[in-house]
Structures are given as structure tokens and as C-alpha cells.
Amino acid sequence: MSEKVTLFHWEPNANSGKPMLALAEKGVDFESHYLDLLNFDQHKPDYLKINPQGTIPAMVHGDKVLTESTAIMEYADNAFDGPPLMPRDARDRWRVRWWMKFMDQWLGPSFSMIGWSIFVGPSVRARDPQELEAAIDRIPLPERRTAWRKAIYNLFSEEELAESNRRIGVGITMLEEALSKRAWLASDQYSLADVNGFNLGYALPLSQPDLANDEKTPHIMEWLRKIYERPATRHIWSMGRTPMVARVKILERGVQS
Amino acid sequence: MSLTLYHGEPNGPSLTVLAALYESGLDADLVAIDLAKGERHSTAERNREVEMSIEGEGPVLVADGEPMADSVFLAQYLDEASGGSLQPTDPYARWEMEMWCRFIIERVAPAASLLGNRAHLTPKLQAISDEEFETLVGAIASADLAARWRKERAGDYPEAQVEDSREKIRLAVQRLEGRIDGDWILGAFTIADLESYAWLAGMVAIVPDAFVEAPKTRAWLARVNARDSVQQALARSPTGDPLHAWAPGPEINRWG
């Protein structure tokens, strides 16, 4: 398949970083379209022509438009040559899928609720209120409108934030346990589960220094460092445009001990 | 390969996996458990992935000693372990199947689960003693799943949430009506048909208006129901009334 690949993405982080890193691991050249999430680029008419749902990332391959970061990664693994990012064994494949769903739907939303309450919300809150309301009104999906409203006006309840923090603690314990059993998260082969997990957790030693560190979670730390040392990861994290990407430097060996 | 499947009544996730097993032609020891009595947390084999599965009360498949959960992924496992054809090989068609299954898992299943449990599980849980209920919930490792059991027992569902769930079922049927391509959802018969049927079959009685102007969906429901694998799965029902069997499912999206 030699048709052109275009990826619409934000920073190498969370959902945008997943297909970026998967494509780099596969050795697929893609045209990069950077959308500034904090400037609501993803809800502007030009992009809505490509993905009417206004979510990022999206990938265009030939005449096909693909959305949803994990599903895009699976598509990329199936559609392109290059090293396989899904194991061959059916049970290993089950484990890769289990972990991706767990991270996408249970652990990830907890990280993002905290991230949105302390970073995304404050980053945009200072703008003109009318402009912000208009920006919210342009969001196509009602559930994304709710999420943005909560982030912008800091409407997360104590209870919700406490539950997210609880889940982050449980998730870190589970990651450490899984990584002590196998070479990589879901199998003995580097897979989409690791690509997914790195995007979720690369900044853990910074954001959760008491829970994720060399003493308490040595397997998580080694796993993150090994992924950070891969050429594909170096390449993709060099594509970041905001200070956010610098957080990955915590994974340089010797920085945290 | 040795397989044991701990399954509930053939409704929801247990139906998907039982039918996928019969489609695969693989042999498995079948162990019927009562999900509404919490037997997944007492009788079934468990590990962290089973305990923390965010599908809630689904079946457990043990393959060569490893317990596994999550119905769509179990169906994919059975299909791949048997060299079956329940998943498209074309990458784009495969993406469409995965997106459809995610739609069912993330949007439809939580809504169907709320409505099904409200109608059928709440009365059962209210009929047991506090002590018996505490023993049941005390065996559940996942705190958020245990909290969902408590909510189902209290049975206090805000009307807005109930109506929102009905609306999600109506929208799902509308989407299905527009999507069914020939006999099946995506042209060929896939796991998307099993997963969609498993969550929607019980909704015909609970949200009947959703199906009134959906002739293609009604015909599709009858076609899925008539498949050998589905008939064999339904024959595993201990009560003969699987559509009334519900247990806490996936949570409703915490972001609203």
C-alpha cells in the first residue's frame, strides 16, 4: 500500500502520540498536520470536513479516513509492512487488547481528568468568555462539549477527582505487576499495548513521583526508559512544539534515581 | 489447548462468547454460573484481568490455565485460535468492525445494562438480606464494580439518566437500520453482529418504541437469532428465560 498517509494530531502525548509512534515504529512516512488542541483547531471547519466529530487524531490513507487512536494503530499495523506490533499468539493478542481497553476507558480518562483540571482548563480559562462559549458551542460531540465545559470552568467535583486519583494508584500497581511478569506489558514482544502505555504514562515519574519511582515501581521505570530509548520514540517526541514534550526527559538515565 | 468457559445466562456478554465458541468449533468445558448472584467472584477462576475487567459481569474463559475476560476480545481470541472467519481480513473493514464494537461497548452496553438491571436485577437484589448482599459485594475486588452493584440494589435511578439510556438505544437502532448491509451489519457475518445482538435482544421488550420503525433491524435480529451458534448458545440457559437475566455491566462514561 503506497498511498499517501496524512496524520492530523496534536503533541506527541496521549491519544495523538499513539498513532504517531505506531507509524514511526512501522517505518511509515506520514504527512504531519499539527492541530493546536488548546486553540480548538480540531473544531474548525477545515478539520471538520475531514473528521466531522472533531476529535483528534485522525488519519487519512488514500481515500480512507480513520479515527480513534487505538483503532488507527490497529489499522496501521494491519495495513502497512514493517515490524508487526501485534503478537502472533492468540492469547498474547487478547492481552494486548485487554490492556488497551483498560487504559483507553478506565485508566486514561482518570489521567486526563486530572490533566485537564490542572493543565488544559487553566491554559484556556483566561481567554475572552464569549469567545470560549462560542468555541464550546462549535464542538460537535455532546460528550466532548461536557468535558470541555468541565475543564474550562473547573467543574470537576472533589469526588470525581478523588476517584480519578484512586484509579491512577490502582493502575500504577497493576502496570508494575504486569511488567514484572513479562518483557513488555502484554507479551514478550514490543506491541501496541506498549505504544499505548507509553503515551499514557511517560510523564508518570513527574506527575506521580510518590507512586512511580525507581524504588516503588522499578519495572515501570525500566519499561518507560526502554521505550524512550527507541529511535521511533526519539523521532516522534522531537516533533512536539510546546514545553510539554520536555517532560519526557525525566526518562533520561540518571535523571531520576 | 484446554478451554473452560464460565458463562452466565446467554444474554449480553455471555451470549457473545458462547455463540463465538460455537462458531469456532472449538471444544470447551462449559460451566454455568449465576452472574446475578456474584458467582463470577466466587466460583469462576480469576486473575487481575478478570477482576478488573471493565465490562463488569461477563464470562470468564480459561485458556491453558490463564483466565481471560471481555466478551469482544474473547470472541476475537476464539476466532483467531480456531482460524475462523468472524473478522474481516481487509484492514479498513477490520477497522470498521472494531469501531462498531467499540460503539456497542462504550455507548450501547452501559445504557442497555442500566435499563436491564433496573427492570430485572434490582428486584432480585432487594429480595435478599443485607448480610447476603454484603457477602456478595465483599468478594468483588474492583471498587467501582462493587459500587455499581450497590447502586443497582438501591435502585434509585434518576429519571433523566433512564431516559438518556432509552435514547441511546433508540439511536443505536437508528444507526443499525442505516448500517445493515444485506443480511449482516457489515456485509459479512462478524463479531459485530454477535455483540450488537447480545446487547439489543433484551431491549425489544424494554424500549419497544425503538424498534417500531426499524424493519431491517427486526429482520436482522431474527436472522441472528436463527443462526445455529446462537440457538446453541440460547439452549445453554438454565432458566429458559435469558432476556430477563442481567448483572452489572460497564459503567456509564464518567465524563458525561
Percentage of chain A exceeding pLDDT 90: 81
| Res B125: pLDDT | 98
Chain A residue with Cα closest to B73: A94
Q: Is residue B237 part of a domain?
A: no
Domain borders along chain A are 5-79, 90-251
Report the pLDDT value the prediction gives residue B50, as an integer from 0 to 100.
98
A204-257 tens-digit pLDDT: 999 999 999 999 999 999 999 999 999 999 999 999 999 888 999 999 998 765
How many domains, in total, are found in chain B?
Answer: 2
CA angle A206, A209, A210 (to 5 degrees): 165
Nearest by CB to residue B98, choosing from A71, A94, A163, is A71
C-beta separation of A149 from A136 below 8 A = yes
Q: What is the pLDDT of residue B256?
A: 54
Those residues with Cβ within 8 angstroms of residue A50's Cβ, 6 or more apart along the chain or in another chain: A8, A58, A60, A65
**Cα distances (Å, whole numbers) of residue A49 to A62, A65, B73:** 16, 11, 33
Burial tier of A2 (Cβ tally within 10 Å: 0-12, 13-18, 19+): exposed
B132 and B191 in a single domain? The answer is yes
Which residues of chain A make contact with B53, given a CB cutoff of 8 A? 98
Q: Identify whether residues B186 and B219 lie together within a single domain.
A: yes
- Residue-wise pLDDT tens digits, A75-109: 999 999 999 999 999 999 999 999 999 999 999 99
Q: How does pLDDT run across A216-231, given as a tens digit for each residue?
A: 999 999 999 999 999 9
Q: Indicate if B222 and B185 belong to the same structural domain.
A: yes
Question: Do residues A3 and A180 lie in contact, with contact meaning Cβ atoms separated by under 8 Å?
Answer: no
Question: Which of B33, B57, B81 is the endpoint of a domain?
Answer: B81
Chain A residues in contact with B254 (beta carbon < 8 A): 109, 113, 160, 163
Do residues B105 and B182 both lie within one domain?
A: yes
B70 and B132 share a domain? Answer: no
Contact B99 A90 (CB under 8 A): no
d(CA A179, CA A193): 12
Mutation target for A interface from B73, B94, B101, B105: give the one with most A CBs within 10 A.
B73
Q: Which helix (H) or strand (E) holds B29?
A: strand B29-32
Confidence of residue A185 (pLDDT cuts 50, 70, 90): very high
C-alpha distance across the termini of chain A, in Å: 45
Nearest neighbour of A74 by CB, restricted to B73, B98, B253: B98
A244: closest CA of chain B, how far (Å): 24
* pLDDT on residue A27: 98
What is the structure's pLDDT at A256?
A: 63
Nearest CA-CA distance, residue A40 and chain B, Å: 19
What pLDDT does A126 receive?
85
What pLDDT does A118 receive? 86
* pLDDT for the residue numbered B146: 97
Q: Is residue B235 part of a domain?
A: no
Taking only the tens place, the pLDDT of each residue in A127-184 is: 888 989 999 999 998 888 988 898 888 889 999 999 999 999 999 999 999 999 999 9
> Of A66, A105, A143, which has the smallest distance from its Cβ to B256's Cβ?
A143
Contact A95 B49 (CB under 8 A): yes
Can you give the pLDDT at residue B51? 97
Ranges of residues in chain B whose predicted pLDDT is under 70: 255-256
Q: In this structure, are B56 and B165 located in the same domain? A: no
Task: Tell me: do B211 and B130 sit in the same domain.
Answer: yes
Grid coordinates of A56: 483528534
Cell 488544559, residue located: A120
CATH, range A90-251: 1.20.1050.10
Segments forming the whole domain that contains residue B77: 3-81
Average pLDDT over residues A67-79: 98
Task: State mean pLDDT over A121-129.
Answer: 86
Whether B224 has its CB under 8 Å from any CB of chain A: the answer is no
Please give the distance of CA B34 from its chain centroid, rounded to a whole number.
Answer: 14
B138, B193: one domain: yes
Of B69, B91, B106, the CB nearest to A78: B91
**Are B102 and B215 in a shared domain?**
yes
Same domain, B212 and B117: yes
**Per-residue pLDDT at B170:** 98
Any domain includes B163: yes
Closest CA to A147 of A13, A42, A4: A42
Residues B104 and B44 in one domain: no
pLDDT of residue B45: 97
Residue A49 near residue A41, CB atoms below 8 Å: no
- ipTM above threshold 0.95: yes
C-alpha cell at A111: 489521567
- Write the CATH number for B30: 3.40.30.10
Q: Which of B53, B81, B91 sits opposite A75 (nearest CB)?
A: B91
Please answer whether residues A228 and A21 qualify as being in contact, where contact means their C-beta atoms are separated by less than 8 angstroms: no
Q: Is residue B86 part of a domain?
A: no
Q: Is the residue at B18 inside a domain?
A: yes
Q: State residue B112's pLDDT score.
A: 98
Q: What is the CATH number for B195?
A: 1.20.1050.10
More confident residue, A31 or A37: A31
- Cβ distance A98 to B69 less than 8 Å, yes or no, reads yes
3-state secondary structure B109-173: HHHHHHHHHHHHHHHHHHHCCHHHHHHHHHCCCCHHHHHHHHHHHHCCCCHHHHHHHHHHHHHHH
Is the pLDDT at A20 greater than 70? The verdict is yes
Q: B47 with B172, same domain?
A: no
Helical residues (DSSP H) of A140-217, grouped into ranges? 142-152, 158-179, 192-201, 204-207
**Per-residue confidence (pLDDT) for residue A144, from 0 to 100:** 87
Residue B61, Ramachandran bin (φ over 0: left; ψ between -120 and 50: alpha; else beta): beta
Which architecture, in CATH terms, is A5-79? 3-Layer(aba) Sandwich (3.40)
Per CB-CB distance under 8 Å, the chain A contacts of B99 are 67-68, 71
